[in-house]
């Protein structure tokens, strides 16, 4: 039984019950897409719909020319006929069978010797020795069990690979080995791969696309770097872990310069409650996309690559004096939290890597430059 042509995955889901879901996204062959969001956001429900384990009230799931679900047309292909490889968080291995027999169990449509030969091929492929292949799951490490689960998912040559929190139950060292394995397999597999994860660093490290889900609704899809530079709204910024998010008031286009496409943003973090506009002199000249009204409350973010420590004080636009509030050394990187003098109470966080020109210490005064061209401004939506 051969798998259908490996083409793009297209998912469209709309339902109110039993759980509200509203999603449209696609994943190209050879791409890995991560579904990210808080617990209860609907990530696993979306995975179950793709696998055929859950039927949406309204929706369509298609891989290439193969329509697996189309509620409008009355089409619903059962999971065993979908050519889906599914890797679970808890491995879901048969405890009484060897690793080899666990993988062969996914190949019951083949004669026994072909089953074992193909199972052996994929276990070799995920770098398990013949001795490990003969062991039962209880005698394998968590990382080795997950390699068996990956081999089993790939043994039927799926048209779509679904990974449901696949690395959360293994230790950090095994996890990095599995990351390397997955990166290698991606180069060989020309199929869409969908990863459900709560680990944002994992999603950024492994995936080409993020689909940000909250309360069953897709808020944004895009490359990790593009979402981090320009989240659609403050909720997306929170969900993808953007640390440097602040508040402000949009003042309107910058008419004092001959350059079009720039506007003025008053930074209000640290402004005393009830204070007027003149009490907060921090005004930033940032990119203006022409979508905001003067006087509108906004939130704004700046990507880490737009924050730079300075060797000496400067009065250039975007330069600020600051005090080091906290330092955390994490091996090859250092996490720094700065308290800005021009915006009391506003904490700026940056990550330093490699050798630094001068060591920092808590309480030390320093200077920092914000690349104002990388400031991304978002409107604040009033509740109700």
CB 340 within 8 A of CB 348: yes
Q: Is residue 174 part of a domain?
A: yes
pLDDT at 278: 45
Q: Are residues 63 and 148 in the same domain?
A: yes
Q: Give the structural domain span for 26.
A: 9-233
Query: Which range has the worst mean pLDDT, 39-53, 210-224, 330-344?
Result: 330-344
Stronger pLDDT, 356 or 120, i.e. the higher one: 120
Q: Mean per-residue pLDDT for 82-96?
A: 91
| Distance of alpha carbon 191 from alpha carbon 5, whole angstroms | 9
Q: How confident is the model at residue 24 (pLDDT cuts 50, 70, 90)?
A: very high
| Model confidence band, residue 56 (pLDDT cutoffs 50, 70, 90) | very high
**Do residue 249 and residue 222 come from a single domain?**
no
Confidence of residue 258 (pLDDT cuts 50, 70, 90): low
Do 33 and 211 form a contact (C-beta atoms < 8 A)? yes
Last residue of a domain, one of 199, 233, 267: 233
Strands in 150-293 per DSSP E: 160-164, 193-196, 209-214, 217-222, 245-253, 262-267, 283-287
Residue 264, domain CATH: 2.40.50.140
Is the distance from CB of 32 to CB of 207 less than 8 angstroms? Answer: yes
Tell me the two tokens of residue 322: 């600051």
Q: How confident is the model over 281-289, as a mean pLDDT?
A: 88
The pLDDT tens digits for 170-212 are 887 888 888 888 888 888 888 999 999 988 888 988 999 999 9
More confident residue, 361 or 345: 361
Are residue 144 and residue 223 in the same domain, yes or no?
Answer: yes
Say what percent of the chain tops pLDDT 70: 93
Are 207 and 326 part of one and the same domain? no
My answer on whether 263 and 217 are in the same domain is: no
Q: Are residues 209 and 281 in the same domain?
A: no
Q: Maximum distance among all alpha carbons in the chain?
A: 81
> Residue 358 corresponds to which tokens in the numbers above?
């001068």
CATH code of the domain in which 107 resides: 3.40.50.300
Q: What is the pLDDT of residue 355?
A: 67
Asked which of 163, 198, 233 is the last residue of a domain, the reply is 233
In a domain, 238, yes or no: no
The answer, yes or no, to whether residue 119 has pLDDT greater than 80, is yes
Helix H or strand E segment including 89: none
The tokens 């020309």 sit on which residue? Answer: 190
* pLDDT score of 356 more than 80: no
The confidence score (pLDDT) of residue 281 equals 65
Cβ atoms of 352 and 272 within 8 Å: the answer is: no
Task: Please give the distance of CA 340 from its chain centroid, rounded to a whole number.
Answer: 30
CB of 134 within 8 A of CB of 57? no
Number of separate domains in the chain: 2
- Residue 3 falls within a domain, yes or no? no
As a whole number, mean pLDDT of residues 322-336 equals: 88
> Which is nearest to 216 in space by CA: 36, 54, 41?
41
97 and 205, same domain (yes or no): yes
Q: Are 317 and 354 members of one domain?
A: yes
């Amino acid at each position: 039984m051969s798998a259908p042509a490996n083409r793009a995955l297209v998912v469209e889901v709309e339902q109110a019950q039993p759980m509200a879901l509203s999603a449209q996204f696609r994943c190209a062959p050879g791409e890995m897409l991560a579904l990210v969001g808080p617990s209860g956001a609907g990530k696993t429900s979306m995975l179950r719909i793709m696998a055929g384990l859950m039927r949406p009230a309204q929706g369509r799931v298609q891989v290439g020319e193969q329509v697996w679900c189309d509620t409008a047309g009355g089409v619903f292909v059962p999971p065993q006929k979908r050519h889906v490889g599914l890797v679970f968080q808890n491995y879901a291995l048969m405890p009484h069978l060897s690793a080899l027999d666990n993988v062969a169990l996914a190949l019951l449509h083949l004669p026994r010797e072909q089953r074992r030969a193909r199972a052996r091929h994929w276990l070799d492929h995920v770098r398990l020795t013949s001795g490990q292949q003969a062991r039962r799951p209880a005698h394998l490490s968590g990382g080795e069990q997950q390699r068996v689960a990956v081999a089993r998912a790939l043994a039927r040559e799926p048209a779509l690979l679904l990974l449901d929190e696949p690395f959360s139950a293994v230790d950090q060292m095994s996890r990095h080995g599995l990351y390397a394995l997955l990166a290698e397999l991606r180069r060989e597999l020309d199929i869409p791969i969908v990863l459900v994860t709560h680990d944002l660093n994992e999603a950024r490290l492994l995936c080409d696309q993020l689909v940000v889900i909250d309360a069953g609704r897709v808020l944004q899809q895009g490359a990790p770097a593009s979402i981090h530079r320009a989240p659609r709204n403050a909720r997306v910024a929170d969900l993808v872990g953007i640390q440097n998010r602040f508040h402000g008031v949009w003042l309107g286009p910058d008419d004092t310069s001959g350059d079009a496409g720039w506007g003025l943003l008053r930074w209000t973090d640290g402004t005393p409650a009830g204070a007027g506009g003149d009490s907060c002199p921090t005004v930033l000249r940032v990119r203006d996309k022409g979508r905001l009204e003067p006087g509108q409350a906004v939130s704004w973010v700046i990507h880490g690559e737009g924050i730079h420590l300075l060797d000496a004080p400067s009065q250039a636009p975007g330069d600020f004096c600051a005090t080091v509030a906290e330092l955390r050394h994490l091996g090859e990187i250092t996490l720094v939290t700065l308290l800005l003098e021009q915006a009391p109470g506003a904490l700026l966080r940056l990550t330093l890597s490699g050798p630094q020109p001068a060591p920092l210490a808590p309480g030390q005064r320093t200077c920092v430059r914000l690349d104002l061209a990388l400031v991304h401004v978002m409107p604040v939506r009033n509740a109700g």
